[in-house]
C-alpha cells in the first residue's frame, strides 16, 4: 500500500471514529432548524476537507524531516485543524452556545483518543509476544479487522459506562468557563504529547509501526500509551465533575429563586387571607342585622353562614407563616374534596427563615396535592401533616396516598412527568433546605402511601429555653 493511501486511510478512520463519538456525545442536544439536512452535508464536508489533509504529510521540510507529517508540530497542526472543523460544523448543527460545543468536542476527542491508546496498549503487548507473526500476506487485513472490532467494543464500553450517564446531566446546563479552559488546556497538552510520542516511536519502529527490537523502546512506548490513557481519563473525569457541579449550582439557583418566590407568595397570601377574614366578619354582621330585622329566614341564614365559614376558618399552629400557608391550602382542599389533616406545633420551627419555611412546607403539601388529585376514591384523598417535638428533636411527618408506582433515585422519588430535566426540583429543594438546617430527610413508599420524615435537632437556644 502506498504512503498516500496509508495516510488517507488514517484520515478516514480518524474522522469516522471522531464522528461516532461526536454523535454519541451530542445525541440529546437541541437541534437547529433543518438539522437532518445540515448534519449529512457537514459530515460530507468534513470528509471532503479532511481527507486531502493527508497531502500535508508529504510536504517536504528539507533536511529536518522527510515531510510535515513526520514532525510533532505538523501532526498537531493537522489534528487541530480537524478538531476545529468538527467544533465549527457541530455548532452549526446544534442550537447551543459555542463554548458548550467546544467543551463537548473536547470530551469526544478525549474519548476517541482513549479508545485508540487503549487499543495500542493491547496491540503492542501482542506484537511483543509474537501473536501476529503468522499473519503473513494477510497482515493488513487481520490488523484492520482486529482494530475495528476492539475499537467498537471500547466505544460501546465508554458509551455505557460514561457518555450515557454524563450527558444526561448536561441538558440545560450552562458550563463553568473556568472548567472549560482547564479541560481545553489539558486536551492541548495531551495532543502535543501524543504527537511527540507517535512521531518519535514511529522512527524507532522496525519493519512496521510499534514493532520494536529493543525492549526498552517497548517499555517506553507502553509507558507513553498508559500516560495518554490517564490524561484522557482525567479530561473525562474533569468534564463530568464540571457538569455535575454546574447542575448543582443550577439547582441551588432554583432553590434561591423558589425561596424568594416563597417569601413573596407568603406576603401576598397573608394579605389576601386577612382581607378575606375581614370581609367574612363584615358579612356575618350584615347577616345578623338582616336576621334581626326578619329579612331572612333561619334556613337561608344557616346556609349562608355555612358557605362563608370555610373562608373564616383559621388554623392556629403557633407560627404565623404556617397559619397563612395551611389556611390557604385548606381552602384549596375544601374546594377539591381533599381532606387535609394537620397537627402542627409551629413554635418549634421559629429557627427557620421565612422563605425556607414557606418553601419547605409549600413543596411538601403541593407534591401531596398533586398526588391525591389523581385519586378517585374519596376515602383515599387524604393528606396528613404532623409537626411535633420529642426530646431535642423536631419531627416533620407527611403521608398521602398515590396511584401507580414510584421510582426512587438517591433516596428521593423520581418525577413522573415526561420532562425529567425540568421537573423534580421540588424534592431536591426539600433536601437542600433540610440540609441547610442540619436535618435529615427520608422519603419512601409502602402500599401506595408516600411518606416523608424530616428530623431537625432543636437549636441550642430553643432547647435551653424550652419548658421541662
Residue-wise pLDDT tens digits, 50-65: 777 767 666 666 554 5
In a domain, 26, yes or no: yes
The one-character DSSP state at 2 is: -
Cα–Cα distance, 124 to 118 (Å, whole number): 10
**For residue 276, how many C-alpha atoms fall within 13 Å in the half-sphere facing its CB?**
17
Which of the given ranges, 171-185, 303-317, 348-362, has the highest pLDDT on average? 348-362
pLDDT of 60: 64
Same domain, 225 and 359: no
Please indicate whether residue 138 or residue 418 has the higher confidence score (pLDDT).
138
Same domain, 96 and 188: yes
Q: Pick the last residue of a domain from 201, 220, 245.
A: 245
pLDDT of 385: 94
Cα–Cα distance, 299 to 244 (Å, whole number): 64
Q: CATH number for the domain including 370?
A: 3.30.565.10
How far is CA 407 from each of CA 116, 416, 452, rounded to the nearest angstrom?
38, 9, 15
Residue 306's CB is within 10 A of a number of other CB atoms, namely 9
- Quick one: pLDDT band at residue 281, thresholds 50, 70, 90? low
The three three-digit cell numbers of residue 452, written as one number: 416523608
- Quick one: pLDDT band at residue 453, thresholds 50, 70, 90? very high
Which of the given ranges, 101-110, 328-337, 458-467, has the highest pLDDT on average? 101-110
Please indicate whether residue 429 or residue 447 has the higher confidence score (pLDDT).
447
What is the dihedral angle through the alpha carbons of 440, 445, 451, 452, rounded to the nearest 10 degrees? 20
Residue 358's CB is within 10 A of a number of other CB atoms, namely 25
Least confidently predicted of 90-99, 161-170, 288-297, 348-357: 288-297
Rounded to the nearest angstrom, the gap between the alpha carbon of residue 235 and the centroid of all alpha carbons in its chain is 18
Same domain, 329 and 236: no
Please indicate whether residue 175 or residue 29 has the higher confidence score (pLDDT).
29
Same domain, 335 and 233: no
Question: Residue 354 pLDDT more than 60?
Answer: yes
pLDDT of 462: 44
Q: Pick the last residue of a domain from 213, 245, 277.
A: 245
pLDDT of 466: 44
Which residues are within 8 A (CB) of 180 and not within 5 positions of it... i.e. 6 or more apart?
Answer: 99, 102, 103, 242
- Mean per-residue pLDDT, 397-426: 74
The count of domains in the chain is 2
Please indicate whether residue 66 or residue 246 has the higher confidence score (pLDDT).
246
Q: How far apart are the first and last CA of the chain?
A: 93
Q: Pick the last residue of a domain from 245, 267, 296.
A: 245
Question: Residue 336 pLDDT more than 50?
Answer: yes
For residue 147, the enclosing domain spans: 3-245
Same domain, 227 and 326: no
| Burial category of 175 from C-beta neighbours within 10 Å (exposed 0-12, middle 13-18, buried 19 and up) | buried
Could you tell me which residues are beta bridge partners of residue 456?
394
Amino acid at each position: 500500500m502506498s504512503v498516500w493511501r496509508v495516510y488517507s486511510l488514517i484520515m478516514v478512520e480518524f474522522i469516522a471514529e471522531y464522528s461516532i463519538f461526536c454523535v454519541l456525545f451530542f445525541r440529546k442536544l437541541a437541534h437547529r432548524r433543518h438539522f437532518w439536512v445540515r448534519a449529512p452535508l457537514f459530515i460530507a464536508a468534513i470528509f471532503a476537507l479532511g481527507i486531502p489533509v493527508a497531502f500535508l504529510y508529504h510536504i517536504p521540510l528539507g533536511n529536518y524531516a522527510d515531510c510535515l507529517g513526520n514532525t510533532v508540530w505538523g501532526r498537531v497542526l493537522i489534528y487541530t485543524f480537524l478538531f476545529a472543523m468538527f467544533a465549527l460544523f457541530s455548532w452549526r448543527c446544534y442550537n447551543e452556545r459555542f463554548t458548550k460545543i467546544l467543551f463537548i468536542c473536547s470530551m469526544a476527542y478525549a474519548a476517541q483518543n482513549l479508545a485508540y491508546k487503549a487499543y495500542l496498549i493491547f496491540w503492542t503487548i501482542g506484537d511483543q509476544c509474537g501473536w501476529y507473526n503468522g499473519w503473513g500476506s494477510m497482515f493488513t487485513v487481520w490488523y484492520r479487522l482486529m482494530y475495528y472490532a476492539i475499537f467498537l467494543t471500547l466505544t460501546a464500553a465508554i458509551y455505557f459506562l460514561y457518555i450515557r450517564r454524563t450527558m444526561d446531566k448536561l441538558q440545560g446546563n450552562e458550563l463553568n468557563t473556568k472548567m472549560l479552559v482547564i479541560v481545553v488546556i489539558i486536551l492541548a497538552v495531551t495532543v502535543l504529547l501524543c504527537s511527540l510520542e507517535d512521531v518519535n516511536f514511529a522512527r524507532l519502529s522496525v519493519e512496521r509501526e510499534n514493532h520494536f527490537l529493543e525492549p526498552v523502546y517497548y517499555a517506553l512506548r507502553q509507558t507513553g500509551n498508559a500516560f495518554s490513557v490517564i490524561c484522557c481519563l482525567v479530561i473525562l473525569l474533569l468534564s463530568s465533575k464540571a457538569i455535575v457541579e454546574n447542575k448543582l449550582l443550577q439547582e441551588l439557583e432554583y432553590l434561591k429563586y423558589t425561596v424568594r418566590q416563597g417569601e413573596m407568595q407568603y406576603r401576598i397570601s397573608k394579605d389576601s387571607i386577612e382581607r378575606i377574614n375581614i370581609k367574612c366578619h363584615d358579612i356575618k354582621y350584615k347577616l345578623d342585622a338582616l336576621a334581626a330585622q326578619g329579612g331572612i329566614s333561619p334556613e337561608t341564614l344557616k346556609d349562608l353562614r355555612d358557605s362563608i365559614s370555610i373562608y373564616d376558618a383559621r388554623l392556629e399552629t403557633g407560627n404565623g407563616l404556617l397559619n397563612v400557608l395551611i389556611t390557604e391550602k385548606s381552602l384549596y382542599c375544601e374546594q377539591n374534596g381533599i381532606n387535609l389533616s394537620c397537627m402542627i406545633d409551629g413554635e418549634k420551627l421559629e429557627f427557620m427563615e421565612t422563605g425556607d419555611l414557606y418553601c419547605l412546607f409549600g413543596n411538601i403539601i403541593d407534591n401531596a396535592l398533586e398526588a391525591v388529585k389523581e385519586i378517585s376514591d374519596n376515602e383515599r384523598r387524604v393528606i396528613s401533616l404532623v409537626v411535633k417535638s420529642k426530646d431535642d428533636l423536631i419531627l416533620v411527618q407527611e403521608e398521602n396516598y398515590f396511584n401507580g408506582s414510584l421510582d426512587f433515585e438517591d433516596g428521593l422519588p423520581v418525577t413522573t412527568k415526561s420532562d425529567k430535566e425540568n421537573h423534580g426540583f421540588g424534592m431536591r429543594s426539600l433536601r437542600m433546605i433540610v440540609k441547610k438546617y442540619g436535618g435529615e430527610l427520608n422519603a419512601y413508599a409502602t402500599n401506595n402511601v408516600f411518606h416523608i420524615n424530616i428530623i431537625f435537632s432543636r437549636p441550642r437556644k430553643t432547647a435551653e429555653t424550652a419548658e421541662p
